[in-house]
Structure 1
Amino acid sequence: MDLNNCSRATEFILLGFPHIWGMNVTLFAVVLLLYILSIAGNGLIIVMVRLSHQLQKPMYFFLSNLSFLEMWYTTAVVPKMLANLVSAKTTICFYCCMAQSYFHFLFGITEFYILTLMSFDRYLAICQPLRYNTIMTPSVCYQLALCAWFGGFLTILLQTILVVRLPFCNSNVVNHFYCDIGPMLKIAGGNTELIEALGFLIAVAVILTSLLLTVVSYIFIISTILRIPSTSGRQRAFSTCASHLTVVSILYGAVLFIYLRPTAMHSSFSLNKAVSVLNTVITPVLNPFIYTIRNNEVKEALRKALGRY
């Protein structure tokens, strides 16, 4: 399509959830409650890791990074979603939409990298305990976290630049509650095959590679745990991994469904929206509870913190 003959869209209409008309206020209240719980829960983990001496370990350093990512991952989407639920005008400016899409994927991709680092940390702690403290020094942890953040920044940058340059002339209605790339490409003019291929390549490279590294780490971890002679020792070793493994299962399950199905770019997006709510709204709430309930060190640090007041 010739951009010179195109009256380019200056804003998008986020279609949201057209089939729940009449339940907007109820959905608004539920999503707002979950958002508040997510910010409060993840913020509490960051504060506890910062203040508690017993949580000054690499695993909890990466956990605080994960919690920080979760706070901004959901903040990139939920406030605008809440505003649209109680407003007759569900528009978002063109560059605001592009920024929302970029930061949503930036935080999401970085989260995969951090989760992979957490699995590597657990591998070293359980399978290489004598070398753990010499390898996972504070400076190494900071460098690894910085690489994860920088990797997230670069991974999605090219695709976002290509999407910004697309002509959106025929329609400006995005069939989603946020600016997801798939629904945006569906209404874009011009040839989007390169961007779709690049998006699929990014999904495979980030999701499957990080998942493969995590699975390999846990194969070695489980193999090592099974060789521990005492039952209590096996339980104690596995308890340090259970929270991370639960979060990984929830996150990868949702994202694999959305981005790695063969028809992901050409679906009606109705089911994708439901899974996106799980991934964007519900999972960030679950993570603090999972790490608190399943982790004795975090529970102990929380009890000590509450006992001071």
Structure 2
Amino acid sequence: MLNTSDWLSPAEIRGTMGNSTTVTECVLLGLSDACELQMLIFLGFLLNHLLTLLGNLLIVIITLMDRRLHTAMYYFLHNFAILEIWFTSLIFPKMVTNILTGYKTISLASCLLQFFFYFFLGTTEFLLLAVMSFNKYVAICNLLRYATIISKRAYVHLVLCSWKAGFLLIIFPSSITFQQPFCGPNTVNHFFCDSFLLLELVRADTSLIELLGFIVANFSLLGTLSVTATCYGHILHTILHIPSPKERQKAFSTCSSHIIVLFLFYGSCILMYIQSGKCSQGEDRSKVVAPLNTVVTLMVNPFIYTLRNKQVKQGFLEKVSKLLS
């Protein structure tokens, strides 16, 4: 099939598709149509994708191979790294290929699957962040009871519940979305298949889907944010009462890095999805804020959460030295 985006403008594509043609392919317009920016975007996203994959793969390998890291904290980080590998592999390869080849189409089935897995993985990531915040809270504020509260059975169960809850929260609104009649126009003004933009292709009443999406977004974002904020509030209160200035500074330095990542991650998602419905500026806002969520935080998370950790760096250097010897 010819790539209509190579010789028609988005307005002309809308005109040719009409309002009744069944959509089988979507055109992802990307971040910019400017030719001079395409190569910069391509190089930036490719470098980000490779760094994100490398950082998270190191986390997965090291936490599996080093028995000293077979603890609750590193089990959470191991699953978090798997989530981010899957998440970045869901968006970036297609986007980079589209920029490189100029062929911006994606099949409707692939677009819907990308939409489902994007929100399933994102929701699971929020739940896992809340679990990790609770784990840090227990480790700092209830150290003597840590082994009892966060037993091996407990932390494995918490991770499994995060994956299950993420799936269950997204599967119902997604299944309703999949059954909708998708008609023209077939352009998606984004670099991936986002929810509100996909609904623009539906020629039916989408108020129920929008309501379900709003409820899920509020629960998964604001619900987990309240848990995370409560845990870190207690953590900071405990840190401020540490008598040793050196230990207090060390603990605060670790927590401040985590708080910055959480602020970027939650802030960008709240700007994108916590809204009462589709608005005239929703597409532009989502398109501008999305790279902060899908590019910046994905790249810095491995370095903030694990690669700055002395135990992980020590395990990595030991494995490298064994390979070299």
Provide TM-score, normalisation by structure 2. 0.87
State the alpha-carbon separation in 2 of the partners of residues 243 and 47 from structure 1.
Answer: 23
1:197 pairs with 2:211: yes
1:229 Cα deviation (Å)? 1.5
2:122 maps to a residue whose letter is G
State the alpha-carbon separation in 2 of the partners of residues 17 and 220 from structure 1.
Answer: 40
State the alpha-carbon separation in 2 of the partners of residues 14 and 255 from structure 1.
Answer: 21
Measured against aligned partners, the alpha-carbon deviations of 1:69-118 in whole angstroms (never above 9, x if no partner) come to 11111111111111111233311111111101101111111000110000
Which of 166, 174, 189 in structure 2 is aligned with 1:160?
Answer: 174
* Distance of aligned partners of 1:247 and 1:131 in 2 relative to their CA distance in 1, 3 Å threshold: same
State the alpha-carbon separation in 2 of the partners of residues 70 and 59 from structure 1.
Answer: 17
State the alpha-carbon separation in 1 of the partners of residues 27 and 124 from structure 2.
Answer: 28
Tell me which residue corresponds to 1:284.
Answer: 298
2:64 maps to a residue whose letter is R
Provide TM-score, normalisation by structure 1. 0.92
User: Does structure 1 conserve the Cα–Cα contact (< 8 Å) formed by 2:32 and 2:38?
Assistant: no
Which stretch shows the higher mean deviation, 116-125 or 155-164? 155-164
1:6 Cα deviation (Å)? 5.1
State the alpha-carbon separation in 2 of the partners of residues 147 and 77 from structure 1.
Answer: 25
1:30 pairs with 2:79: no
State how 1:1-309 maps to structure 2 within 5 Å.
Answer: 7-262=21-276, 265-267=279-281, 269-292=283-306, 294-308=308-322, 309=324
Measured against aligned partners, the alpha-carbon deviations of 1:116-161 in whole angstroms (never above 9, x if no partner) come to 0000001111111111012211221111111101111111111111
- Name stretches of at least 5 consecutive residues in structure 1 with no aligned partner: none
SS in 2 for 1:70: helix
State the alpha-carbon separation in 2 of the partners of residues 279 and 44 from structure 1.
Answer: 22
State the alpha-carbon separation in 2 of the partners of residues 13 and 256 from structure 1.
Answer: 26
1:278 Cα deviation (Å)? 2.0
Measured against aligned partners, the alpha-carbon deviations of 1:214-254 in whole angstroms (never above 9, x if no partner) come to 11111111111222221233234335534432321221111
* Distance of aligned partners of 1:111 and 1:33 in 2 relative to their CA distance in 1, 3 Å threshold: same
* Identity percentage of aligned residues: 39
CA-based RMSD of the aligned residues comes to 2.0
User: Does structure 2 conserve the Cα–Cα contact (< 8 Å) formed by 1:35 and 1:78?
Assistant: yes
State the alpha-carbon separation in 2 of the partners of residues 153 and 298 from structure 1.
Answer: 30
State the alpha-carbon separation in 2 of the partners of residues 291 and 261 from structure 1.
Answer: 30
- Name stretches of at least 5 consecutive residues in structure 2 with no aligned partner: 1-18
